[in-house]
Amino acid sequence: AADSCTKILKYRCSGCISVGNPLNSRNFSKLLRACPYQCDRHKVIVEAEDRYKSELRKSFICNKKILLTPCRRQQLSSKSAIPGEINEHI
């Protein structure tokens, strides 16, 4: 049963279509994501990778915040070090 299923899906799932398709590492994820007929295999892989990516995204944002904090502080202190600057802008 699974075999006949993949046969039908084979011709619809972008991830499974190969011939004459300029697929590569750069466009594959987007192409697969945009495909409304993902086969079971690709659906499972995309879902798992999505979860992995969102975890990473979270940790990326955290890292950025940590990196940004001292910069902001520096900016603020340099601003306050120039008297009259804020008034000029108003």
Partner 1 sequence: MFQGQRGWFCGSVGQDLRQFWMAEGGTVSDWRAADFLFSSDASHPDTLRIYHSLDYIEDNATVFHAYYLSAVANAEIKNSVALGHFILPPASLQKEIRRKIGGFIWEQDQHFQTEKNEEV
**Chain residues in the site for partner 1 (CB under 8 A):** 13-20, 23-26, 28-30, 32-33, 40-42, 44-45, 48-49, 51-53, 56-57, 60
Q: Which does 83 bind (CB under 5 to 8 A by kind): Zn ion, partner 1, none?
A: none
- Closest approach of Cβ 43 to partner 1, in Å? 9
Q: Find out whether 30 and 50 touch, Cβ atoms under 8 Å.
A: no
Q: Which residue matches tokens 């502080």?
A: 73
Residues 20-49 that bind Zn ion (CB under 5 A): 39, 42
Angle at 62 between CA 59 and CA 64, to 5 degrees: 110
- Helical ranges in the chain per DSSP H: 2-10, 28-34, 40-81, 85-89
Binding test (CB under 5 A) with Zn ion, winner from 16, 31, 45, 46 = 16
Nearer to partner 1, 8 or 23 (CB): 23
Cα distance between residue 40 and residue 51, in whole Å? 17
Residues that bind Zn ion (CB under 5 A): 13, 15-16, 39, 42
